[in-house]
Amino acid sequence: MHNHFRDKGESLYYFFDTFDKLLECPDCSSCIILKCKSSIICCNHCGYLKDISLGHVTTRWGSNYGVCYDHKLWLRTPCCGRELWAFNKEHLHYLFNYITADIRGRTPYINQSVASRLPDWIKSSKNKIQLKKALERLERKMEVIQ
């Protein structure tokens, strides 16, 4: 039975914009859930508060590092000398499906999709086992907050 990954052309923006994002509190390292469309980053554990609508937040998200609105993402883990990261569980599951797939289908002419824009080290089949382990670490991290 093959696990067939079908690229439906979801863009990174889709995962960023459609679902809650998980950030790491800069003060106590707890997980902060930044609600979709909300501009208030608020830690329920220590009371850290930041209103990102007030400006001076330069980074919406990073490419090589898991950063979002100048805050570290909660779902980050070292992998293959890099950092593997995801905005939320939906993004994590997408990456898991991609990496564990034996066959990667692709919708033509969609070059905005996450799959087509993934860095080479994630696309590389020789990193597949390490990537799968890294994603499993992130899955376990998700379980802590559910």
User: Where does this chain bind Zn ion (CB under 5 A)?
Assistant: 25, 27-28, 30, 43, 45-46, 48
Give the Å distances, CA to CA, from 17 to 13, 21, 127, 134, 143: 6, 9, 29, 24, 22
Nearer to Zn ion, 31 or 134 (CB): 31
CB of 52 to Zn ion, least distance (A): 16
Nearer to Zn ion, 46 or 129 (CB): 46
Nearer to Zn ion, 27 or 136 (CB): 27
Q: d(Cα 88, Cα 16) in Å, to the nearest integer?
A: 8
Q: d(Cα 77, Cα 18) in Å, to the nearest integer?
A: 23
CB of 141 to Zn ion, least distance (A): 16
Nearer to Zn ion, 76 or 96 (CB): 76
- Helix 89-100 / helix 128-145 crossing angle, nearest 10 deg: 150
CB of 44 to Zn ion, least distance (A): 8
CB of 53 to Zn ion, least distance (A): 20
